[in-house]
């Protein structure tokens, strides 16, 4: 009996011990799941400020560009930067990435089989280290991307009660307000930029999304419309003496398409507010701007972007069908993450605009704010009002959602005065995009200038300085000068002088303040097209191009003139000025001669004349020494914000080494093209050329065939420019 009791006791004891061990195993911390990224993924495309990721094999390739040494520009390939730094090799592996602030310069170098490039400055940087988690930090198992690769945010499923509230919100105004409050609460919880959190905070709950799940076959989505301020008739506005015409401030005709939209939207508002509610005797204009989630397939369904070279904004009409049948609103927790820009509107507060048109301008800005989808991980927006002098109404960090921003816009009071746009642009360039004002560094800087008629000061110089500081400038001109009024315009063609020359992408001309509502979606689409926001620069107006010309005896006088014609044919395709593309030239034999520097000539005709005057030298061929000389005498004096391009033409093998001087030039940020003629050595041409050599190196059998590569060379320069970072 005792033996049985003892055996039973030991059996129970062993069972409890085993159970306790199993429970201990289960309570151990789960193994970290490391997400994998592709070789072409750039740090700037990942929202997470710190993360661990796994790189695949085969990322050591010149097509995955890297900028910097130790500290890398966020435009760099994450995995190839990790190979460059020695954290992993070409077989791949785990890495830890930490985002840091942008730097004023990134030094290129050759390390671990990877050549990184130099960069004057960039808005965001990152560090790479061994893929081990830091103590007390929780790392994401899925990464959030700022592009179409966005990883869906996991959230708790909705309770039936929440779905019921969402369905009732369309029928009951009070319930709608409650749902709105719930949405605001969730939005506030979700707006914070994701950061690694200590392990003690892992128990925080996931915010419940505010969108409702309904059967599309049984539910008709109702658009959310925001009634704007009631129309008022203002007294005639003061006009600028001698500059602006007096404008009729009375009633103005409204486009029939817009009238039908307003009527339909008003009916929908009444239906949504419930039966029996009086909307008031005053006529109201709902702002017919509908926001969709950035990840929605129908994101661009309602956008009206009529920009085409040579096509007027309003020639394409305004689609009432799309406005009358909008897609339902979808909640974006942190703003439109596909439109991460820091945006400043220069608001025209001059007397010439008048009180009524000033209200229309405010309504337009409010609709733009709604359409953008303001949020901490999306676009941020501030406003500067200008008249005689500019002043900041609010900066980038003042408001973090569209609702609060729209309310603030409605409260702006008109300053009055003249339309000093140039002074306002200088003010924004120096004062607005500062860290203290909410400038994030990881988002493009954009300025949209609203102009009633024309400015009362000059804008060209202020615009150029702003563009060269990395600011993308858009102009929205309303009611431009009539033919009889152009004599009053201080600076003719001021828009063309202020914005980048890109077939009208940066300029919108609106015929009337009463048709300004049509410009909302076209403007939003362009502002959010971050792939085209290139600091208002193009491949034809953003470089310092230095020609290094072989003047050795084997070339001969006749062929040398052919080379100069080739140089002239390339140069004349670029926009040449002090602030656009600049041209310089070096001729070499055994020795080197600076024919003219980048700052010598500032017009295209002067440059072409200088090329024509270059005299043939004759002598030996020391190409390596010529590259070193050009690096110091030409590119050593290049402007920091210019792309440095060297075009070298030679007809023979060099007497000295070319690889070391060429590599030094590459590391200093010089993009080198080599053109060989006749007896030029292919191995030297490849050593001189930047990677990939096949796109930067050309060969012709005789001088008379050089002309064939003019267009190809310019095309390659532009292709490379459009694929490189610009800030």
On the question of pLDDT at 43 being above 80, the answer is yes
List Cβ neighbours of 213 (8 Å cut-off, separation of 6 or more): 158, 163
| Weakest mean pLDDT among 27-31, 327-331, 348-352 | 327-331
CA pair distance 620, 614, nearest whole angstrom: 18
Q: Count helices and strands (H / E) in the chain.
A: 19, 21
Q: Are 212 and 167 in contact (CB under 8 A)?
A: yes
CA distance 255 to 258: 5
| pLDDT for position 114 | 86
> Residues 341-356, buried b or exposed e (16+ Cβ, 10 A)?
bbbbbbbbbbbbbbeb
Residues 6+ apart with CB under 8 A from 585: 546, 547, 548, 549, 567, 594, 595, 596, 610, 611, 614
State residue 236's pLDDT score: 40
What is the average per-residue pLDDT within 382-389?
A: 95
pTM, two decimal places: 0.39
Looking at residue 576, what is its pLDDT?
A: 86
pLDDT at 338: 87
pLDDT at residue 443, rounded to an integer: 79
For the segment 575-581, the average pLDDT, to the nearest whole number, is: 79
> For residue 318, what pLDDT is reported?
33
Q: Is 572 helix (H, G, I), strand (E, B) or coil?
A: coil
The reported pLDDT for the residue numbered 119 is: 77
Location of structure tokens 């039908």: 260
Q: What is the pLDDT of residues 495-532, one digit of tens each?
A: 888 887 666 788 899 999 999 999 999 999 999 987 67
pLDDT at 537: 55
End-to-end CA distance of the chain: give it in Å, rounded: 88
CATH architecture of 342-532: 3-Layer(aba) Sandwich (3.40)
Beta strands, E only, 322-394: 342-348, 380-386, 390-394
Please state, for a pLDDT cut of 70, what percent of the chain lies above it.
Answer: 66
**Tokens at 106, concatenated:** 């990134």
Q: Give whole-number Cα distances, 267 to 209, 272, 324, 370, 616, in Å.
A: 29, 9, 11, 21, 80
Mean pLDDT for the chain overall = 75
Name the token pair of 335.
Answer: 């703003």
220 pLDDT exceeds 60? Answer: no
User: What pLDDT is stored for residue 213 in this prediction?
Assistant: 37
Q: What is the DSSP letter of 89?
A: B
Tracing tokens 């490849």 back to the chain, one arrives at 686
Q: Where are the domains of the chain?
A: 43-130, 342-532, 543-723
Asked if 421 and 496 count as a contact pair (C-beta separation under 8 A), the reply is no
User: Which pair of tokens denotes residue 117?
Assistant: 């490039």
Q: Which option is the CATH number for 43-130: 2.40.50.100, 3.10.290.10, 2.170.130.20, 2.10.109.10?
A: 2.170.130.20
- C-beta contacts of 130-134 below 8 A and 24+ residues apart: 130/87, 130/94, 130/95, 130/96, 131/34, 131/52, 131/53, 131/54, 131/87, 131/93, 131/94, 131/95, 131/96, 132/96, 133/32, 133/52, 133/96, 134/96, 134/196
Residues 6+ apart with CB under 8 A from 679: 554, 651, 652, 653
> How much is the CA Rg of the chain, to the nearest whole Å?
31
> What is the architecture of the domain spanning 543-723?
3-Layer(aba) Sandwich (3.40)
- In contact, 263 and 323? CB cutoff 8 Å: no
- Give me the mean pLDDT over the 701-727 stretch: 78
User: Whole-angstrom Cα distance, residue 636 to residue 655?
Assistant: 24
pLDDT at residue 125 tops 90: yes
Q: What does the longest C-alpha to C-alpha distance in the chain come to? A: 121
Q: Which two tokens stand for residue 616?
A: 């043939």
With both helix axes pointing from N to C terminus, report the angle between 354-372 and 402-410 in degrees, rounded to the nearest 10: 170
Domains 43-130 and 342-532 share a fold: no
Give the CA count within 13 Å in the CB-facing half-sphere of 126. Answer: 32
Confidence bin at 444 (pLDDT 50/70/90): confident
The stretch 408-424 carries a mean pLDDT of 94
């Amino acid at each position: 009996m005792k033996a049985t009791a003892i055996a039973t006791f030991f059996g129970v004891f062993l069972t409890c011990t085993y159970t306790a061990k199993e429970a201990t195993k289960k309570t151990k911390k789960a193994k970290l799941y490391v997400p994998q990224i592709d070789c072409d993924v750039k740090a700037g495309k990942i929202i997470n400020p710190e993360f661990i990721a796994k790189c695949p094999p085969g990322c050591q390739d010149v097509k995955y560009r890297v900028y910097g040494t130790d500290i890398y520009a966020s435009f760099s390939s994450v995995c190839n930067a990790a190979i460059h730094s020695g954290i992993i090799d070409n077989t791949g592996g785990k890495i830890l990435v930490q985002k840091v602030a942008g730097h004023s310069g990134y030094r290129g170098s050759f390390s671990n089989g990877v050549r990184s490039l130099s960069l004057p400055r960039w808005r965001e940087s990152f560090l790479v280290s061994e893929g081990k988690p830091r103590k007390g930090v929780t790392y994401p198992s899925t990464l959030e991307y700022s592009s179409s690769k966005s990883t869906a945010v996991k959230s708790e499923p909705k309770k039936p009660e929440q779905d019921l509230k969402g369905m009732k919100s369309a029928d009951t105004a009070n319930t709608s307000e409650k749902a709105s409050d719930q949405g605001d609460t969730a939005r506030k919880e979700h707006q914070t930029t994701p950061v690694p959190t200590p392990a003690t905070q892992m128990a925080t709950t996931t915010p419940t999304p505010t969108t409702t799940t309904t059967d599309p076959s049984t539910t008709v989505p109702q658009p959310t419309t925001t009634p704007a301020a009631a129309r008022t008739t203002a007294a005639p506005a003061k006009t600028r003496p001698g500059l602006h015409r007096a404008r009729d401030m009375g009633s103005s005709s409204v486009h029939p398409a817009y009238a039908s939209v307003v009527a339909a939207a008003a009916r929908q508002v009444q239906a949504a507010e419930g039966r029996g509610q009086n909307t008031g005797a005053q006529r109201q204009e709902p702002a017919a701007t509908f926001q969709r989630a950035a990840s929605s397939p129908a994101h661009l369904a309602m956008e009206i972007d009529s920009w085409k070279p040579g096509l007027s904004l309003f020639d394409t009409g305004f689609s009432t069908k799309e406005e009358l049948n909008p897609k339902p609103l979808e909640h974006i927790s942190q703003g439109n993450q596909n439109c991460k820009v820091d945006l400043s509107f220069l608001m025209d507060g001059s007397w010439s605009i008048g009180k009524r048109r000033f209200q229309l301008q405010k309504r337009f800005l409010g609709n733009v704010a709604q359409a953008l989808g303001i949020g901490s991980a999306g676009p941020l927006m501030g406003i500067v009002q200008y008249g005689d002098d500019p002043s900041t109404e609010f900066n980038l960090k003042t408001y973090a959602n569209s609702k609060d921003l729209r309310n603030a816009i409605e409260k702006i009071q008109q300053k009055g005065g003249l339309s000093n746009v140039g002074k306002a642009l200088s003010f924004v360039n120096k004062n607005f995009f500062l860290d203290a004002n909410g400038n994030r560094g990881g988002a493009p800087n954009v300025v949209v200038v609203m102009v009633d008629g024309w400015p009362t000061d000059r804008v060209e110089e202020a615009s150029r300085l702003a563009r060269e500081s990395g600011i993308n400038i858009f102009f929205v001109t309303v009611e431009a000068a009539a033919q009889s009024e152009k004599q009053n315009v201080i600076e003719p063609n001021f828009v063309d002088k202020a914005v980048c020359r890109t077939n009208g992408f940066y300029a919108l001309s609106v015929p009337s303040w009463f048709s300004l509502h049509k410009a909302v979606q076209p403007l939003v689409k362009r502002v959010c097209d971050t792939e085209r926001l290139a600091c208002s620069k193009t491949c034809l107006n953003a470089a310092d191009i230095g020609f290094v010309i072989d003047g050795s005896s084997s070339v001969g006088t006749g062929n040398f003139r052919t080379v100069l014609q080739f140089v002239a044919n390339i140069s004349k395709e670029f926009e040449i000025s002090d602030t656009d593309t600049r041209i310089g030239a070096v001729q070499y034999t055994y020795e080197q001669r600076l024919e003219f520097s980048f700052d010598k000539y500032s017009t295209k005709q002067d440059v072409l004349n200088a090329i024509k005057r270059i005299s043939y030298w004759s002598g030996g061929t020391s190409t390596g020494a010529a590259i070193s000389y050009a690096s110091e005498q030409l590119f050593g004096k290049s402007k920091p914000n210019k792309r440095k391009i060297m075009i070298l033409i030679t007809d023979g093998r060099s007497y000295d080494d070319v690889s070391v001087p060429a590599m030094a030039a590459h590391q200093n940020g010089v993009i080198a093209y080599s053109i060989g003629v006749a007896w030029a050595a292919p191995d030297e041409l490849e050593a001189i050329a930047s990677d990939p050599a096949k796109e930067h190196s050309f060969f012709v059998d005789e001088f008379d065939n050089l002309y064939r590569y003019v267009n190809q060379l310019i095309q390659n320069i532009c292709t490379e420019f459009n694929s490189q970072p610009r800030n």
